[in-house]
A and B are shown apart, each in its own frame.
Chain A
Amino acid sequence: MSGDVVLRAEDIHKSYGKLQVLKGVTFEIRKGETKVIAGPSGAGKSTLLRCLNLLTMPDKGRVWLEDIELTDPKVDINKMRQKIGFVFQEFNLFHHLTALENVMIGLTKVKKMPKEEALRSAKEALLTVHITEDLWHKYPAQLSGGQKQRVAIARALAMDPVIILYDEPTSALDPQLVGEVLQVMKELARKGVTGLVVTHEIGFALEVADEIMFMYDGKILEKGPPKEVVFNPKHEVTKKFFEKIGRLYGERR
Protein backbone atom coordinates (compact mmCIF):
# COMPACT_ATOMS: atom_id res chain seq x y z
CA MET A 1 0.00 0.00 0.00
CA SER A 2 1.43 3.31 -1.01
CA GLY A 3 0.17 6.85 -1.17
CA ASP A 4 -2.75 8.52 0.53
CA VAL A 5 -6.38 7.76 -0.01
CA VAL A 6 -7.90 10.63 -1.99
CA LEU A 7 -11.39 9.27 -2.45
CA ARG A 8 -13.27 6.79 -0.38
CA ALA A 9 -16.81 5.52 -0.85
CA GLU A 10 -18.47 3.55 1.87
CA ASP A 11 -21.57 1.41 1.48
CA ILE A 12 -23.19 3.53 -1.25
CA HIS A 13 -26.85 2.74 -1.88
CA LYS A 14 -29.11 4.31 -4.48
CA SER A 15 -32.60 3.40 -5.61
CA TYR A 16 -34.92 4.90 -8.18
CA GLY A 17 -38.36 4.00 -6.95
CA LYS A 18 -38.37 0.24 -6.54
CA LEU A 19 -35.29 -0.22 -8.69
CA GLN A 20 -32.20 -0.70 -6.55
CA VAL A 21 -29.32 0.59 -8.67
CA LEU A 22 -26.56 0.52 -6.06
CA LYS A 23 -26.65 -2.06 -3.30
CA GLY A 24 -23.73 -1.09 -1.11
CA VAL A 25 -20.52 -0.14 -2.87
CA THR A 26 -17.31 0.39 -0.95
CA PHE A 27 -13.90 1.20 -2.35
CA GLU A 28 -11.07 3.69 -2.15
CA ILE A 29 -8.56 5.16 -4.50
CA ARG A 30 -5.12 6.46 -3.67
CA LYS A 31 -3.23 9.43 -4.99
CA GLY A 32 -1.85 8.78 -8.45
CA GLU A 33 -3.84 5.61 -9.02
CA THR A 34 -6.00 4.86 -12.04
CA LYS A 35 -8.88 2.52 -11.44
CA VAL A 36 -11.28 1.19 -14.03
CA ILE A 37 -14.87 0.27 -13.36
CA ALA A 38 -16.26 -2.24 -15.85
CA GLY A 39 -19.47 -4.15 -16.02
CA PRO A 40 -22.63 -4.68 -18.05
CA SER A 41 -25.03 -1.80 -18.62
CA GLY A 42 -27.46 -1.43 -15.78
CA ALA A 43 -24.85 -2.53 -13.25
CA GLY A 44 -24.85 0.98 -11.72
CA LYS A 45 -21.48 2.24 -12.95
CA SER A 46 -22.60 5.70 -14.03
CA THR A 47 -24.84 6.10 -11.02
CA LEU A 48 -21.93 5.24 -8.76
CA LEU A 49 -19.74 7.84 -10.44
CA ARG A 50 -22.41 10.51 -10.04
CA CYS A 51 -22.84 9.58 -6.40
CA LEU A 52 -19.17 10.33 -5.83
CA ASN A 53 -19.48 14.05 -6.59
CA LEU A 54 -23.10 14.10 -5.46
CA LEU A 55 -24.51 15.01 -8.84
CA THR A 56 -26.76 12.20 -7.67
CA MET A 57 -27.41 12.06 -3.95
CA PRO A 58 -26.87 8.55 -2.55
CA ASP A 59 -29.69 7.25 -0.36
CA LYS A 60 -27.25 5.76 2.07
CA GLY A 61 -23.51 5.60 2.51
CA ARG A 62 -20.71 8.10 2.77
CA VAL A 63 -18.13 9.62 0.45
CA TRP A 64 -14.85 11.23 1.48
CA LEU A 65 -12.59 13.38 -0.60
CA GLU A 66 -9.24 13.37 1.16
CA ASP A 67 -10.25 13.95 4.77
CA ILE A 68 -13.55 15.73 4.13
CA GLU A 69 -16.84 13.87 4.13
CA LEU A 70 -18.83 15.08 1.11
CA THR A 71 -22.03 13.44 2.28
CA ASP A 72 -21.94 15.55 5.44
CA PRO A 73 -24.82 18.02 4.95
CA LYS A 74 -22.68 20.81 6.45
CA VAL A 75 -20.10 20.54 3.68
CA ASP A 76 -20.32 23.08 0.84
CA ILE A 77 -20.60 20.63 -2.03
CA ASN A 78 -20.05 23.31 -4.69
CA LYS A 79 -16.66 24.01 -3.19
CA MET A 80 -15.80 20.32 -3.13
CA ARG A 81 -16.95 19.63 -6.69
CA GLN A 82 -14.25 22.00 -7.94
CA LYS A 83 -11.76 19.38 -6.79
CA ILE A 84 -13.48 16.49 -8.56
CA GLY A 85 -13.13 16.55 -12.31
CA PHE A 86 -15.98 14.92 -14.19
CA VAL A 87 -15.86 13.87 -17.82
CA PHE A 88 -19.18 12.95 -19.40
CA GLN A 89 -19.95 10.41 -22.07
CA GLU A 90 -21.73 13.12 -24.08
CA PHE A 91 -18.94 15.70 -23.48
CA ASN A 92 -21.41 18.37 -22.34
CA LEU A 93 -19.24 21.24 -23.46
CA PHE A 94 -20.96 24.59 -23.05
CA HIS A 95 -22.36 25.21 -26.53
CA HIS A 96 -22.17 29.00 -26.42
CA LEU A 97 -18.52 29.19 -25.42
CA THR A 98 -15.35 28.58 -27.41
CA ALA A 99 -12.98 25.77 -26.46
CA LEU A 100 -10.83 28.23 -24.53
CA GLU A 101 -13.83 29.82 -22.80
CA ASN A 102 -15.14 26.38 -21.85
CA VAL A 103 -11.94 25.71 -19.96
CA MET A 104 -11.70 29.23 -18.53
CA ILE A 105 -15.20 29.70 -17.17
CA GLY A 106 -14.66 27.45 -14.15
CA LEU A 107 -11.48 29.31 -13.32
CA THR A 108 -12.96 32.80 -13.58
CA LYS A 109 -16.49 32.22 -12.29
CA VAL A 110 -15.93 29.46 -9.75
CA LYS A 111 -12.32 29.87 -8.66
CA LYS A 112 -12.51 33.66 -9.14
CA MET A 113 -9.10 33.63 -10.74
CA PRO A 114 -7.90 36.85 -12.41
CA LYS A 115 -8.47 36.68 -16.16
CA GLU A 116 -4.79 36.67 -17.15
CA GLU A 117 -4.00 33.80 -14.84
CA ALA A 118 -7.11 31.88 -15.95
CA LEU A 119 -6.12 32.36 -19.57
CA ARG A 120 -2.67 30.96 -18.90
CA SER A 121 -3.98 27.94 -16.98
CA ALA A 122 -6.64 27.24 -19.61
CA LYS A 123 -4.12 27.33 -22.45
CA GLU A 124 -1.80 25.06 -20.52
CA ALA A 125 -4.61 22.56 -19.89
CA LEU A 126 -5.61 22.62 -23.57
CA LEU A 127 -2.04 21.98 -24.67
CA THR A 128 -1.82 19.09 -22.21
CA VAL A 129 -4.69 17.38 -24.05
CA HIS A 130 -3.14 18.31 -27.43
CA ILE A 131 -5.72 20.93 -28.37
CA THR A 132 -3.57 23.32 -30.34
CA GLU A 133 -3.96 27.05 -30.72
CA ASP A 134 -5.87 26.84 -34.01
CA LEU A 135 -8.77 25.20 -32.14
CA TRP A 136 -8.91 27.47 -29.10
CA HIS A 137 -11.45 29.86 -30.58
CA LYS A 138 -13.67 27.25 -32.17
CA TYR A 139 -17.09 26.52 -30.74
CA PRO A 140 -17.98 22.96 -29.68
CA ALA A 141 -20.18 22.45 -32.74
CA GLN A 142 -17.12 23.13 -34.90
CA LEU A 143 -15.01 20.42 -33.23
CA SER A 144 -14.87 16.67 -33.82
CA GLY A 145 -16.05 14.32 -31.09
CA GLY A 146 -12.51 13.47 -30.07
CA GLN A 147 -11.57 17.15 -29.88
CA LYS A 148 -14.68 17.90 -27.83
CA GLN A 149 -13.90 15.20 -25.33
CA ARG A 150 -10.32 16.38 -25.01
CA VAL A 151 -11.54 19.93 -24.36
CA ALA A 152 -13.88 18.46 -21.74
CA ILE A 153 -10.90 16.73 -20.12
CA ALA A 154 -9.01 20.03 -20.21
CA ARG A 155 -11.97 21.75 -18.56
CA ALA A 156 -11.78 19.25 -15.72
CA LEU A 157 -8.00 19.33 -15.57
CA ALA A 158 -7.74 23.13 -15.43
CA MET A 159 -9.58 23.17 -12.12
CA ASP A 160 -6.58 21.34 -10.67
CA PRO A 161 -8.68 18.48 -9.32
CA VAL A 162 -7.71 15.87 -6.75
CA ILE A 163 -9.26 13.20 -8.98
CA ILE A 164 -10.94 12.97 -12.37
CA LEU A 165 -14.00 10.78 -12.83
CA TYR A 166 -14.56 9.59 -16.40
CA ASP A 167 -18.03 8.32 -17.29
CA GLU A 168 -17.63 6.18 -20.43
CA PRO A 169 -15.56 8.92 -22.06
CA THR A 170 -15.18 7.17 -25.41
CA SER A 171 -18.58 5.50 -25.79
CA ALA A 172 -20.12 8.33 -27.82
CA LEU A 173 -17.16 8.62 -30.19
CA ASP A 174 -16.70 7.32 -33.70
CA PRO A 175 -14.24 4.40 -33.55
CA GLN A 176 -11.44 6.28 -35.31
CA LEU A 177 -11.60 9.05 -32.67
CA VAL A 178 -11.40 6.80 -29.60
CA GLY A 179 -7.62 6.49 -29.77
CA GLU A 180 -6.81 10.17 -29.37
CA VAL A 181 -8.94 10.43 -26.23
CA LEU A 182 -7.54 7.24 -24.70
CA GLN A 183 -4.04 8.47 -25.50
CA VAL A 184 -4.63 11.67 -23.51
CA MET A 185 -6.11 9.70 -20.62
CA LYS A 186 -3.10 7.39 -20.57
CA GLU A 187 -0.72 10.33 -20.55
CA LEU A 188 -2.55 11.86 -17.63
CA ALA A 189 -2.55 8.55 -15.77
CA ARG A 190 1.21 8.23 -16.29
CA LYS A 191 1.69 11.78 -15.03
CA GLY A 192 0.05 10.71 -11.81
CA VAL A 193 -3.33 12.34 -12.26
CA THR A 194 -5.65 10.22 -10.16
CA GLY A 195 -8.46 8.79 -12.25
CA LEU A 196 -11.52 6.64 -11.88
CA VAL A 197 -12.71 5.48 -15.27
CA VAL A 198 -15.93 3.77 -16.28
CA THR A 199 -15.08 2.18 -19.60
CA HIS A 200 -15.33 -0.87 -21.81
CA GLU A 201 -11.86 -0.21 -23.19
CA ILE A 202 -10.07 -3.23 -21.80
CA GLY A 203 -6.86 -2.30 -23.61
CA PHE A 204 -6.77 0.94 -21.66
CA ALA A 205 -7.38 -0.90 -18.40
CA LEU A 206 -4.65 -3.45 -19.09
CA GLU A 207 -2.17 -0.78 -20.02
CA VAL A 208 -2.56 1.85 -17.31
CA ALA A 209 -5.03 0.79 -14.64
CA ASP A 210 -3.84 -0.25 -11.20
CA GLU A 211 -7.06 -2.09 -10.60
CA ILE A 212 -10.26 -3.15 -12.31
CA MET A 213 -13.47 -3.20 -10.34
CA PHE A 214 -16.08 -5.36 -11.98
CA MET A 215 -19.59 -4.20 -11.15
CA TYR A 216 -22.60 -6.43 -11.43
CA ASP A 217 -26.12 -5.86 -10.18
CA GLY A 218 -25.35 -2.80 -8.06
CA LYS A 219 -22.27 -4.21 -6.36
CA ILE A 220 -18.59 -4.64 -6.94
CA LEU A 221 -18.51 -8.35 -7.70
CA GLU A 222 -14.76 -8.59 -7.85
CA LYS A 223 -11.69 -6.45 -8.16
CA GLY A 224 -8.00 -6.85 -8.61
CA PRO A 225 -5.11 -6.26 -10.97
CA PRO A 226 -6.45 -5.82 -14.52
CA LYS A 227 -4.79 -8.94 -15.94
CA GLU A 228 -6.16 -11.03 -13.11
CA VAL A 229 -9.74 -9.79 -13.46
CA VAL A 230 -9.79 -9.87 -17.26
CA PHE A 231 -8.04 -13.17 -17.92
CA ASN A 232 -8.51 -15.11 -14.73
CA PRO A 233 -11.68 -13.93 -13.02
CA LYS A 234 -13.21 -15.66 -10.03
CA HIS A 235 -16.79 -15.42 -11.18
CA GLU A 236 -18.48 -16.89 -14.20
CA VAL A 237 -20.36 -13.61 -15.02
CA THR A 238 -17.08 -11.71 -15.01
CA LYS A 239 -15.56 -14.22 -17.36
CA LYS A 240 -18.54 -14.08 -19.71
CA PHE A 241 -18.52 -10.29 -19.67
CA PHE A 242 -14.87 -9.91 -20.60
CA GLU A 243 -15.11 -12.57 -23.27
CA LYS A 244 -17.98 -10.66 -24.83
CA ILE A 245 -16.24 -7.31 -24.50
CA GLY A 246 -13.09 -8.80 -25.97
CA ARG A 247 -15.01 -9.87 -29.06
CA LEU A 248 -16.74 -6.49 -29.39
CA TYR A 249 -13.88 -4.14 -28.71
CA GLY A 250 -10.77 -6.24 -29.06
CA GLU A 251 -7.94 -5.19 -26.84
CA ARG A 252 -7.07 -2.08 -28.73
CA ARG A 253 -4.55 0.17 -27.19
Chain B
Amino acid sequence: MNINIEALLPYFPYIIEGALWTFALVGGGLGLGFIIGLPIAIGQVYGGRIIKTILDVYVWFFRGVPLLVLLFLFYWGVFPAMGFKLSALVTSMIVLGLRSGAYQSQIFRGAIQSVEEGQMLAARSIGMTKTQAIIHIVLPQALRIAIPGWTNEYAILLKDSAICFALGVMEILTRTRYVAISTGIYFIPYLFAGILFIILTYGGTKIFNIIYEKVQIPGLVKGGM
Protein backbone atom coordinates (compact mmCIF):
# COMPACT_ATOMS: atom_id res chain seq x y z
CA MET B 1 0.00 0.00 0.00
CA ASN B 2 1.42 3.30 -1.01
CA ILE B 3 -0.56 6.07 0.58
CA ASN B 4 0.56 9.63 0.77
CA ILE B 5 -0.24 10.50 4.39
CA GLU B 6 1.20 13.96 3.98
CA ALA B 7 -1.41 14.82 1.41
CA LEU B 8 -4.05 13.88 3.99
CA LEU B 9 -2.62 15.78 6.96
CA PRO B 10 -4.44 19.08 6.33
CA TYR B 11 -7.74 17.22 6.27
CA PHE B 12 -7.56 15.65 9.73
CA PRO B 13 -8.51 18.84 11.61
CA TYR B 14 -11.42 19.21 9.18
CA ILE B 15 -12.69 15.75 10.11
CA ILE B 16 -12.09 16.32 13.83
CA GLU B 17 -14.13 19.51 13.62
CA GLY B 18 -17.02 17.27 12.61
CA ALA B 19 -17.00 15.96 16.16
CA LEU B 20 -18.60 19.27 17.17
CA TRP B 21 -21.55 18.53 14.89
CA THR B 22 -21.64 14.97 16.14
CA PHE B 23 -21.73 16.29 19.71
CA ALA B 24 -24.56 18.64 18.78
CA LEU B 25 -26.51 15.71 17.36
CA VAL B 26 -25.84 13.46 20.34
CA GLY B 27 -26.34 16.21 22.93
CA GLY B 28 -29.56 17.38 21.31
CA GLY B 29 -30.79 13.84 20.82
CA LEU B 30 -30.02 12.73 24.37
CA GLY B 31 -31.39 15.92 25.90
CA LEU B 32 -34.62 15.95 23.93
CA GLY B 33 -34.87 12.19 24.40
CA PHE B 34 -34.63 12.69 28.17
CA ILE B 35 -37.30 15.39 28.16
CA ILE B 36 -39.59 13.11 26.15
CA GLY B 37 -38.57 9.75 27.61
CA LEU B 38 -38.93 10.44 31.33
CA PRO B 39 -42.54 11.67 31.20
CA ILE B 40 -43.41 8.77 28.89
CA ALA B 41 -41.97 6.34 31.42
CA ILE B 42 -43.89 7.96 34.27
CA GLY B 43 -47.07 7.84 32.19
CA GLN B 44 -46.50 4.23 31.28
CA VAL B 45 -46.03 3.20 34.90
CA TYR B 46 -48.57 5.40 36.66
CA GLY B 47 -50.93 6.56 33.92
CA GLY B 48 -54.42 5.37 33.08
CA ARG B 49 -55.30 2.99 30.29
CA ILE B 50 -55.80 5.63 27.59
CA ILE B 51 -52.55 7.43 28.37
CA LYS B 52 -50.67 4.14 28.36
CA THR B 53 -52.09 3.18 24.97
CA ILE B 54 -51.16 6.52 23.38
CA LEU B 55 -47.63 6.30 24.79
CA ASP B 56 -47.29 2.69 23.65
CA VAL B 57 -48.15 3.76 20.10
CA TYR B 58 -45.50 6.49 20.23
CA VAL B 59 -42.83 4.12 21.49
CA TRP B 60 -43.87 1.41 19.04
CA PHE B 61 -43.67 3.84 16.09
CA PHE B 62 -40.28 5.36 16.88
CA ARG B 63 -38.71 2.04 17.76
CA GLY B 64 -40.15 0.33 14.72
CA VAL B 65 -39.19 2.70 11.92
CA PRO B 66 -35.56 2.79 10.71
CA LEU B 67 -33.70 5.98 11.57
CA LEU B 68 -32.95 6.77 7.94
CA VAL B 69 -36.64 6.55 7.09
CA LEU B 70 -37.48 8.83 10.03
CA LEU B 71 -34.90 11.38 8.90
CA PHE B 72 -36.27 11.52 5.35
CA LEU B 73 -39.86 11.43 6.58
CA PHE B 74 -39.41 14.44 8.84
CA TYR B 75 -37.00 16.40 6.63
CA TRP B 76 -38.92 16.06 3.39
CA GLY B 77 -42.38 15.26 4.73
CA VAL B 78 -43.55 16.11 8.23
CA PHE B 79 -41.80 19.42 8.89
CA PRO B 80 -42.43 20.95 5.44
CA ALA B 81 -46.06 19.84 5.68
CA MET B 82 -46.30 21.63 9.04
CA GLY B 83 -44.83 24.73 7.47
CA PHE B 84 -41.48 24.50 9.32
CA LYS B 85 -38.35 25.14 7.38
CA LEU B 86 -35.73 23.52 9.55
CA SER B 87 -32.07 22.97 8.76
CA ALA B 88 -30.69 19.48 8.32
CA LEU B 89 -28.90 19.77 11.68
CA VAL B 90 -31.98 20.84 13.62
CA THR B 91 -34.15 18.24 11.90
CA SER B 92 -31.60 15.55 12.71
CA MET B 93 -31.38 16.61 16.36
CA ILE B 94 -35.16 16.53 16.71
CA VAL B 95 -35.52 13.18 14.97
CA LEU B 96 -32.73 11.64 17.05
CA GLY B 97 -34.44 13.08 20.14
CA LEU B 98 -37.91 11.79 19.25
CA ARG B 99 -36.47 8.36 18.60
CA SER B 100 -34.15 8.33 21.61
CA GLY B 101 -37.13 9.41 23.74
CA ALA B 102 -38.86 6.18 22.79
CA TYR B 103 -35.82 4.13 23.75
CA GLN B 104 -35.04 6.15 26.87
CA SER B 105 -38.63 5.76 28.08
CA GLN B 106 -38.02 2.02 28.25
CA ILE B 107 -34.84 2.52 30.25
CA PHE B 108 -36.62 4.80 32.71
CA ARG B 109 -39.68 2.60 32.88
CA GLY B 110 -37.57 -0.37 33.89
CA ALA B 111 -35.74 1.75 36.43
CA ILE B 112 -38.94 3.12 37.96
CA GLN B 113 -40.40 -0.36 38.17
CA SER B 114 -37.31 -1.65 39.91
CA VAL B 115 -37.84 0.77 42.82
CA GLU B 116 -39.66 -1.31 45.42
CA GLU B 117 -43.36 -0.81 45.89
CA GLY B 118 -42.70 -0.16 49.59
CA GLN B 119 -40.99 3.14 48.78
CA MET B 120 -44.18 4.52 47.28
CA LEU B 121 -46.27 3.10 50.13
CA ALA B 122 -44.03 4.67 52.76
CA ALA B 123 -44.12 8.01 50.96
CA ARG B 124 -47.91 7.93 50.77
CA SER B 125 -48.11 6.88 54.41
CA ILE B 126 -46.48 10.11 55.58
CA GLY B 127 -48.98 12.10 53.55
CA MET B 128 -47.19 12.67 50.26
CA THR B 129 -49.33 12.91 47.17
CA LYS B 130 -48.56 10.49 44.37
CA THR B 131 -46.79 13.28 42.47
CA GLN B 132 -44.68 14.24 45.50
CA ALA B 133 -43.78 10.60 46.05
CA ILE B 134 -42.70 10.22 42.42
CA ILE B 135 -40.61 13.40 42.48
CA HIS B 136 -39.01 13.11 45.92
CA ILE B 137 -38.76 9.35 46.44
CA VAL B 138 -39.11 7.27 43.29
CA LEU B 139 -37.28 9.33 40.67
CA PRO B 140 -34.12 10.08 42.68
CA GLN B 141 -33.67 6.32 43.02
CA ALA B 142 -34.84 5.40 39.52
CA LEU B 143 -32.55 7.92 37.81
CA ARG B 144 -29.54 6.45 39.58
CA ILE B 145 -30.56 2.97 38.46
CA ALA B 146 -31.04 4.25 34.90
CA ILE B 147 -27.51 5.60 34.44
CA PRO B 148 -25.93 2.42 33.00
CA GLY B 149 -28.78 2.04 30.51
CA TRP B 150 -28.52 5.70 29.71
CA THR B 151 -24.76 5.36 29.10
CA ASN B 152 -25.54 2.65 26.61
CA GLU B 153 -28.05 4.94 24.93
CA TYR B 154 -25.29 7.56 24.57
CA ALA B 155 -23.04 5.06 22.82
CA ILE B 156 -25.83 3.93 20.48
CA LEU B 157 -26.91 7.47 19.69
CA LEU B 158 -23.33 8.51 18.99
CA LYS B 159 -22.96 5.80 16.39
CA ASP B 160 -26.45 6.33 14.97
CA SER B 161 -25.70 10.02 14.52
CA ALA B 162 -23.46 9.11 11.59
CA ILE B 163 -26.59 8.26 9.61
CA CYS B 164 -27.37 11.99 9.58
CA PHE B 165 -24.75 12.27 6.81
CA ALA B 166 -27.71 11.38 4.59
CA LEU B 167 -29.11 14.86 5.17
CA GLY B 168 -25.70 16.44 4.71
CA VAL B 169 -25.15 17.41 8.35
CA MET B 170 -21.47 18.30 8.66
CA GLU B 171 -20.70 15.61 11.20
CA ILE B 172 -17.73 13.25 11.17
CA LEU B 173 -18.85 10.84 8.46
CA THR B 174 -20.03 13.54 6.04
CA ARG B 175 -16.67 15.27 6.27
CA THR B 176 -14.76 12.03 5.97
CA ARG B 177 -16.66 11.23 2.81
CA TYR B 178 -15.76 14.61 1.32
CA VAL B 179 -12.11 14.05 2.14
CA ALA B 180 -12.15 10.56 0.66
CA ILE B 181 -13.81 11.70 -2.53
CA SER B 182 -11.70 14.80 -3.03
CA THR B 183 -8.36 13.08 -2.32
CA GLY B 184 -9.22 9.72 -3.81
CA ILE B 185 -7.87 8.09 -0.65
CA TYR B 186 -10.48 6.02 1.15
CA PHE B 187 -8.82 3.67 3.61
CA ILE B 188 -7.06 6.11 5.94
CA PRO B 189 -9.87 8.70 6.29
CA TYR B 190 -12.51 6.10 7.05
CA LEU B 191 -10.19 4.32 9.47
CA PHE B 192 -9.55 7.68 11.12
CA ALA B 193 -13.30 8.34 11.41
CA GLY B 194 -13.79 4.91 12.95
CA ILE B 195 -11.09 5.53 15.52
CA LEU B 196 -12.58 8.94 16.28
CA PHE B 197 -15.94 7.29 17.01
CA ILE B 198 -14.29 4.71 19.24
CA ILE B 199 -12.56 7.46 21.23
CA LEU B 200 -15.81 9.39 21.64
CA THR B 201 -17.73 6.26 22.58
CA TYR B 202 -15.31 5.09 25.24
CA GLY B 203 -14.46 8.57 26.48
CA GLY B 204 -18.12 9.41 26.99
CA THR B 205 -18.90 6.03 28.53
CA LYS B 206 -16.03 6.53 30.95
CA ILE B 207 -17.40 9.89 32.05
CA PHE B 208 -20.88 8.45 32.62
CA ASN B 209 -19.38 5.58 34.60
CA ILE B 210 -17.57 8.05 36.84
CA ILE B 211 -20.85 9.90 37.40
CA TYR B 212 -22.56 6.57 38.18
CA GLU B 213 -19.94 5.77 40.81
CA LYS B 214 -20.23 9.26 42.27
CA VAL B 215 -23.98 9.13 42.82
CA GLN B 216 -24.13 5.62 44.25
CA ILE B 217 -26.07 5.41 47.49
CA PRO B 218 -23.59 4.43 50.22
CA GLY B 219 -23.91 0.86 51.43
CA LEU B 220 -26.21 -0.32 48.67
CA VAL B 221 -25.04 -3.13 46.46
CA LYS B 222 -24.81 -1.86 42.88
CA GLY B 223 -27.97 -2.49 40.93
CA GLY B 224 -29.52 -4.21 43.90
CA MET B 225 -31.52 -1.33 45.21
Contacts and interface: CB of A to CB of B under 8 A. Distances in A.
Interface of A: 53, 55, 78-82, 84-86, 88, 90, 92-96, 105-106, 109-111, 138-142, 152, 155-156, 159
Nearest to B127: A82
Given A96-B144, A139-B218, A106 B126 contact: yes
Q: 8 smallest A-B Cβ distances: which pairs? A: A141-B219, A82-B127, A92-B122, A92-B118, A86-B125, A106-B126, A142-B219, A81-B127
Interface string B208-225: 000000000111110001
Given A92-B118, A95-B119, 15 more contacts: A55-B124, A88-B125, A92-B121, A94-B122, A95-B217, A95-B225, A96-B141, A96-B217, A105-B136, A110-B132, A111-B127, A138-B218, A141-B219, A141-B220, A156-B125
A111 B126 CA distance: 10
Contacts of A95: 119, 141, 217, 220, 225
B150 to A, nearest CB: 17
B36 interface: no
A105 B219 CA distance: 20
Interface residues of B, number: 24
A109 B132 contact: yes
Contacts, number: 80
B136 A159 contact: no
Contacts of A109: 128, 132, 136
Interface of B: 116, 118-119, 121-129, 132, 136-137, 140-141, 144, 217-221, 225
B141 to A, nearest CB: 5
Nearest to B130: A78
B128 A110 contact: yes
Contacts of A88: 118, 121-122, 125
B124 A81 contact: yes
B137 A141 contact: no
Contact of B126 (A96, A110, A141, A142): A110
Contacts of B118: 88, 90, 92
